[in-house]
């Protein structure tokens, strides 16, 4: 498939796809090259601009400690809906790397306690980032599995959707266009889309 037809196939605004109970997948076409995208996933400073800061011991079995500061991602002055107020400060997620093939594959457990604290989002689940060059672009396939409840599916689906949109903004050299407004809208839309 050539670059032009790939751009028509991948819709960077499409909803995540439910693969099975407790699993959602996103496909996005990102501006490359692949090594640059890999850095935005693995380098703490670059990752902090769209997802979360924190350390990542890049080896199978290596510890992951993510610190989310969603309030720092939102444009200055963007109002925070009441239901997201608790997510404006620092939130820690831990995990371990389960698969690693730089710069094409990173899989890790998600939502484990960090330094003896509480788990970040219910029971531990697993996130996989797969990167494939498509000419000067990169296809990202992000899969989140082993989500224990519909509430986890809803939170993760809307969350990844808005965070990957922020990644696309960053890779295109733009500030994040919106965060809370989009997250609020996506939560309502995913709530209607996801199976009951």
Ranges of beta strands (E only) in 102-164 are 105-110, 125-134, 137-145
pLDDT band (50, 70, 90) for residue 124: confident
Q: What pLDDT was estimated at residue 123?
A: 59
Q: What is the pLDDT of residues 49-86, one digit of tens each?
A: 999 999 999 999 999 999 999 999 999 889 999 989 98
* Segment 181-185 mean pLDDT: 94
Please state, rounded to an integer, the average pLDDT across all residues of the chain: 90
CATH number at residue 62: 3.30.530.20
Is the confidence at residue 118, as pLDDT, over 80? no
In total, how many domains does the chain have?
A: 1
Q: How many percent of the chain have pLDDT more than 70? A: 91
pLDDT at 119 over 60: no
Per-residue pLDDT of 12-47, as tens digits, reads: 889 999 998 899 999 999 999 999 999 999 999 999
Angle CA(102)–CA(91)–CA(119) in degrees, nearest 5?
Answer: 80
Q: What is the 8-class DSSP label of residue 60?
A: T
Q: Extract the runs of DSSP E, i.e. beta strands, from 69-124.
A: 91-101, 105-110
pLDDT over 70 (residue 7): no
Q: Which domain holds residue 107?
A: 3-193
């Amino acid at each position: 498939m050539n670059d032009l037809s790939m751009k028509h196939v991948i819709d960077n605004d499409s909803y995540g796809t439910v693969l099975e109970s407790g699993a959602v997948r996103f496909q996005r076409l990102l501006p490359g090259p692949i090594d640059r995208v890999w850095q935005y996933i693995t380098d703490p400073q670059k990752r902090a601009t769209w997802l979360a800061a924190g350390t990542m011991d890049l080896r199978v079995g290596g510890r992951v400690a993510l610190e989310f500061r969603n309030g720092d991602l939102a444009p200055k002055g963007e109002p925070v809906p009441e239901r997201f107020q608790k997510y404006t400060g620092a939130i820690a997620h831990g995990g371990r790397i389960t698969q690693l093939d730089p710069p094409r594959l990173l899989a890790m457990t998600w939502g484990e306690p960090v330094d003896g604290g509480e788990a970040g989002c219910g029971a531990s689940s697993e996130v996989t980032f797969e990167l494939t060059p498509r000419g000067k672009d990169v296809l990202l396939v992000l899969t989140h599995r082993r989500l224990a409840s519909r509430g986890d599916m809803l939170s993760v689906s809307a969350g990844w959707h808005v965070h990957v949109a922020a990644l696309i903004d960053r890779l295109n050299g733009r500030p994040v266009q919106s965060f809370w407004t989009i997250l609020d809208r996506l939560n309502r839309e995913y709530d209607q889309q996801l199976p009951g």
